Amino acid sequence: MSGSIKKREEIAPEFKWKLEDIYSEESAWEADFAKIKTLSAEVEKYQGKIGNSADEMLALFKLSEQLERLSETLYVYARMRRDENNANPRYQTMVDRIETLGVQISAATSFITPELTAIPEETVQEYLNSNAELKIYQHMFDELWRQKEHILSLEEERLLAMSADISHASGNIFTMLNNADIKFPVIKDEQGNDIEITKGRYGRLMESQDRQVRKAAFEGLYSSYGKLKNTLSATLASSVKKDVFYARARKYPSALAGSLDSDNITPEVYNNLIDTVHAKMDYMYRYMKLRKRMLGLDELHMYDIYVPLVKEYKSETPYEKACEMVISGLQPLGSQYQELLRKGMDAGWIDVYENEGKTSGAYSWGTYDTHPYVLLNYDNKMDDTFTLAHELGHSLHSYFSHKEQPHVYSQYPIILAEVASTVNESLLIDYLLQNPVSREEKLYLLNHYLEQFRATVYRQTMFAEFEKITHQTVEAGDALTPESLCQIYRELNALYYGPDVVLDPEIDMEWARIPHFYSAFYVYKYATGFSAATALKEQILKEGEPAVKRYMHFLSSGGSDYPLAILKNAGVDLSTTQPVTAALDYFGQLVEEMETLV
């Protein structure tokens, strides 16, 4: 697309999603909005009565599910309408109204979990065994009971709940510093014009083919964080101390164990990831050496590691062509999967092009009672084709989970969320690598995948290791100072990037700009998810139908079991090092393939 950005009404209907499939008329939205208040009042009538009988318990579950499904549909419709054009005041108001109502719903249903926890397990089990409809909630109760030892007394829980606002302080202060107060210098761009560094521009500046621009942007950004190093180290140290406090309050042996327990995952999985990546650092070092050679540099600096080795392949990829490429690339997943892809592309699931006021980026969304939807801002680049495959991976994961699971298990946990999307991208890139139109395109595709792998597996594992070390430091009673944080981070960069990368002193401050560090022990999920997806893709290509059958079962499982069990049934055992090892070996194969081309 070129020229000025079109207005919403200038986009052809076939390139817009059909939100009319949710509400054909907005009077129906208003009617459901009014119904929510009635349902909310009905739910509150069960307070103090849940444990009276199996029938009362089932009646409450059905009512609260109805409330949840309806409020979810109302919210998703309003948000997606607003995302079409964020300047539209009608949908701004609609979103505000449903968000306010959501707070009221949370208050009305807040009694449910404490009351369920208070009912003796034998009583609940008796109810489950005596009522077939209630029996589907077995896994939900198993999960409730599994974490029961970490639920405190009512008074202690009340105190912890009251501390919630205070617990967000370090993250909120960082957000204000990072998004509002920090100022970056002005540098010269490729044409010699003055340009102020911003966080939004930084990524593009680091991909500049002009090395002086990259160096100036790198030094300018990190010198700005360096001026705030005492404040930023205090905010991060406070966040780590907060994690340690809550883990100890809930009787976990460590902050890491406490965080992973929500997915019923042990620290061994986390540690296995780090240890396995350590054992395969030679692949990363070879890739950095290849980067240095392809860029023709005497020294590879930290500001050289993001510039594309191959300028984006300039072939225009119209949306219709991208759709056919995705369908062809995902052929190994079978006819049912392909039919659903076509249906999504043809039946108004996808909002394709950018328009004035439209939300940027891309996402997949929807509700239990609707088909999935995909928001794109398609711009005819090869990268947009991968985005299409990625988001449709999420969509079909949701489609099958919603179709096969009751509402209570229809949502898959975050650790599984990126698996389906990454399987799609991996299958697509495999297909394209088998059918490149030129050496240039093949190099571009290899570079695209290797960069994605480096950023998702190696880099996120480095972040995960930093989080582990900083929390262990506090748990041992030692202080996190600007000096110690910089030293920890520098040593990790030396380990992960190897001898061919010059560690510029500015990189010591990178820890100060990573928002994920304020939601600790989260980023490892990106690395394990990518590794699991790579393993599943290999099985699908090598085994065919048996692997596809397991994978379709994975897509249909939602949250009906623990994440590791769902993955194990699909053929990936994250309790062992094998999936991560196999993924890293595949990375090594692609590095070798790229070496032969240059």
Backbone angles phi, psi at 580, to 5 degrees: -70, -40
User: Residue 253's closest CA among 469, 463, 475?
Assistant: 475
Contact 580, 277 (CB under 8 A): yes
Per-residue H/E/C for 113-155: HHHHHHCCHHHHHHHHHHCCCHHHHHHHHHHHHHCHHHCCCHH
Q: From residue 388, how far is each of 327, 357, 472 by CA, in Å?
A: 11, 21, 40
Look at strands 300-301 and 501-502 and give their pairing: parallel
3-state helix, strand, coil in the chain (%, to 5): 70, 5, 25
Q: What dihedral do alpha carbons 225, 228, 232, 233 form, nearest 10°?
A: 100
Q: Which residues of 83-121 are buried (b: 16+ CB within 10 A; e: fewer)?
A: bbbeeeeebeebbeebeebeeebeebbeebeebbbeeee
Of the residues 391, 425, 465, 510, only one is catalytic, namely 391
What does the CA dihedral 364, 369, 370, 373 come to, rounded to 10 degrees? Answer: -10
CA neighbor of 18 nearest in space, from 101, 105, 81: 81
Backbone dihedral angles phi then psi of residue 310, each to the nearest 5 degrees: -125, 125
Burial (CB < 10 A; 0-12, 13-18, 19+), residue 52, is: exposed
C-alpha span between 282 and 178 (Å, rounded): 35
The full 3-state SS of 445-514, as one line of letters, equals: HHHHHHHHHHHHHHHHHHHHHHHHHHHHHHHCCCCCCHHHHHHHHHHHHHHHHCCCEECCHHHHHHHHHC
Q: Indicate the angle between helix axes 229-249 and 459-475, nearest 10 degrees.
A: 70
For CA atoms 491, 492, 494, 498, give the dihedral sign. positive
For this structure, is 84 an active site residue?
no
CA distance 532 to 578: 10
Which residues are known to be catalytic? Answer: 391
